[in-house]
Structure 1
């Protein structure tokens, strides 16, 4: 049993905050401190088992005892906030980053990922034993660092999944071919870790790789039975492969919400160990649905906790306020890590910036904010929280041009941030003046300061003879093609 104070778990999310040495630093401390106040457990970002197996240059490591001191410091901090700590151990196999000098690549196959990557060496028995030792040694370091639970990655197209998946495993020996052969080595890893440490173990799996030749739910139900027989304490059910179907792995806005929950539900019905549900869980309605429809044992909330570090506290009614929504855009989180800037968030300005928590101003002022787009609304809300008197001018609909962002197909989630700001304007009782601000308004208002947030206007090309031009009209419902 995991024995958490509630059903919420933060899954592993790559931060990219290390300085290239794999060590915990103040950025990690600050990030997890803010997010461990109400949640049941925090899973630290994926920990590399060897410096030659990094997915990103700034990844945290657990490959030697030098890492223990920082991990202990981080673990102690999270424990002080009442949450348990999970170490996510993963060997990327052929999916190690080919752009990082010194990385090496092994797999069940000698073929590279079809969407790019290095050509791996096909593993022999000696290599398998080395991998098992990596997992065991890393698990022991995790326990020595005070970590409570270990999660082993069996999914998402990484090494153990590269053995399980018939789309990747092309072996003709006892580790390839039939389902029982393909799961032999992954189960050897599990049993070796189980024998080495006396803590709860979670298996993270892809219930379906979403490709015709890959892993599918029927085999994963069978695999879940085997995991249960071998002593696993919980199964974390996700989907997709970082090689073949990364959108399913990352669960961004173009992926149908709830499909991963349905897969988890099918596994839950067939086994007797707890199942962790995951995948774009970013609202109170999602949590209600997971509990009422699927009777979820545990709920993993990742990017929702990036967008709003008090997400769980608000769900549990321990923190007041509207939930700042994750838009599933993957721009600041995944994009920031890929750009080498580290994880950030397009809706949460406090993530990976030098900005401080909002505090009351020393002297209070009367301020006009002109323009009710996202920037204007954020400015008005922040000023109000600092104690200022605020008038917000907007002649049209609050949200400005961002109201257009959610109109294209599969981008409906972008509307959530407009709805959030509208709710914040209302709950903060900000004076909304729905008219175009003119000079007399400013004079009569007797304002101490004015913030101009009027946005942009379309640039008209200086083409000779141009009389008619179009901008965003095609996004309006009556302009969109039908049928």
Structure 2
């Protein structure tokens, strides 16, 4: 029986428990100026609280590899050395609490240049409006009717984005991160290449399954080439576009079968664990949500490929998370909104289930 409180070994790294924090955007970085994209006191307090709460692995929010790769002007970035240096205070503190610091490297593609979620529901910002810019994508297809039509990336520009991911990974290592995750989910750039719904290219980066996964594998190879062999690389995937689950919808999208095929390729290219989410690429997809609704996708990948997975999606209760691991559905539980509500969830779970997680010495008398 695998416990939430059992360490997980990935390469040479031992992650102290299986309660992990999923990347969640805070939209709280400076949108311009000398400190653009740098973590602030908010980011430090936000992430430090979860480390003090006993979370084993903490993944920072989607961190852009270039200015145009940000979801919003208020995203974190790691496209320059000053940004990387600003992360060191955070990674150093997380390590003092026994948590493993991880970073999610991302490019928003056609979903870039939007407002913060609490401002006009994250509406697109036009290129000529304030801090807006023109997004880029595999194809010149807008995400929604309200979105700016992106510019289709040339082969040369694709190569430059791949280099940006590699440069970001180098900086992440210098910033003190021990795990790097490539964001290939939620309708952002890597996912846009994967799915025929958003990738209409006719060159070697489109068309067939092999063509559509080419960009993802090039990014993985570039990151793996600069990331130490003894440290893990994770990949977040949207296991389905939620089109195949709706028989009345005949549009082509990314499927669960595709995800299993991709997982096998990712393993061969040096990815150590698949972080399995769903959706985000089709604005009107009918998502059937509920407690643990994405867990079966993680379970299938693990069962059919042997690749370690992390499950995410409305995991809220300790007994629920423990059951997922005990049943062999995943190797770790990634919590998102529940950790926003309760930074000390891991410690509460340990009390309820009879486990043990690290706690600050300053709190021992409690």
TM band (smaller chain)? 0.7 to 0.9
Q: Secondary structure at the match of 1:47?
A: strand
Judged with a 3 Å threshold, the aligned counterparts in structure 2 of structure 1 residues 8 and 264 are, in CA distance, closer, same or farther, namely same
Q: 2:200 aligns with which of 157, 166, 170?
A: 170
1:219 is aligned to 2:258: yes
Find the counterpart in structure 2 of residue 311 from structure 1: 345
Judged with a 3 Å threshold, the aligned counterparts in structure 2 of structure 1 residues 260 and 245 are, in CA distance, closer, same or farther, namely farther
1:201 is aligned to 2:233: yes
Q: Secondary structure at the match of 2:73?
A: coil
CA distance in 1, matches of 2:84, 2:292: 38
Q: Deviations over 1:78-117 (max 9, x none)?
A: 1111101111011111110241635331111111113531
Q: Secondary structure at the match of 2:315?
A: coil
Q: Is the 8 A contact 1:247 1:255 kept in 2?
A: no
Q: Deviations over 1:230-270 (max 9, x none)?
A: 1101000000015525885xxxxx72332210111111101
CA distance in 2, matches of 1:163, 1:291: 31
- TM-score norm. by structure 1 comes to 0.62
TM-aligned CA deviation for residue 58 of structure 1: 2.1
1:210 is aligned to 2:242: yes
Find the counterpart in structure 2 of residue 71 from structure 1: 87
Q: Deviations over 1:56-92 (max 9, x none)?
A: 2322111111112220011101111110111101111
Q: Is the 8 A contact 1:206 1:240 kept in 2?
A: yes
CA distance in 2, matches of 1:71, 1:142: 8
Find the counterpart in structure 2 of residue 259 from structure 1: 293
TM-aligned CA deviation for residue 118 of structure 1: 1.3
Find the counterpart in structure 1 of residue 304 from structure 2: 270
Q: 1:139 aligns with which of 153, 163, 169?
A: 169
CA distance in 2, matches of 1:278, 1:102: 31
Moved over 4 A (4+): 245-248
Find the counterpart in structure 2 of residue 113 from structure 1: 143
Find the counterpart in structure 2 of residue 23 from structure 1: 38
1:47 is aligned to 2:58: no
TM-aligned CA deviation for residue 175 of structure 1: 1.4
TM-aligned CA deviation for residue 318 of structure 1: 8.7
CA distance in 2, matches of 1:289, 1:7: 12
Structure (1 or 2) with the larger CA radius of gyration: 1
CA distance in 2, matches of 1:126, 1:280: 40
Judged with a 3 Å threshold, the aligned counterparts in structure 2 of structure 1 residues 89 and 65 are, in CA distance, closer, same or farther, namely same
Find the counterpart in structure 2 of residue 35 from structure 1: 50
Find the counterpart in structure 2 of residue 13 from structure 1: 24
Q: Secondary structure at the match of 2:181?
A: strand
Q: Secondary structure at the match of 2:185?
A: coil
Judged with a 3 Å threshold, the aligned counterparts in structure 2 of structure 1 residues 140 and 122 are, in CA distance, closer, same or farther, namely same
Find the counterpart in structure 2 of residue 152 from structure 1: 182
Q: Deviations over 1:165-215 (max 9, x none)?
A: 011111111111111111112111110111112131001001111024211
Q: Is the 8 A contact 2:23 2:59 kept in 1?
A: yes
Q: Secondary structure at the match of 1:44?
A: strand
Q: Is the 8 A contact 1:310 1:319 kept in 2?
A: no
What number of residue pairs does the alignment pair up? 315
Judged with a 3 Å threshold, the aligned counterparts in structure 2 of structure 1 residues 84 and 90 are, in CA distance, closer, same or farther, namely same
Judged with a 3 Å threshold, the aligned counterparts in structure 2 of structure 1 residues 245 and 138 are, in CA distance, closer, same or farther, namely farther
Find the counterpart in structure 2 of residue 85 from structure 1: 101
Judged with a 3 Å threshold, the aligned counterparts in structure 2 of structure 1 residues 7 and 265 are, in CA distance, closer, same or farther, namely same
Q: Which runs of 5+ in 1 are unaligned?
A: 249-253, 321-483
Q: What is the 5 A alignment of 1:80-479?
A: 80-97=96-113, 98-99=124-125, 101-198=131-228, 199-212=231-244, 213-244=252-283, 255-317=289-351
Q: Deviations over 1:123-163 (max 9, x none)?
A: 11111111011101111110000100100011211111111
Find the counterpart in structure 2 of residue 342 from structure 1: none
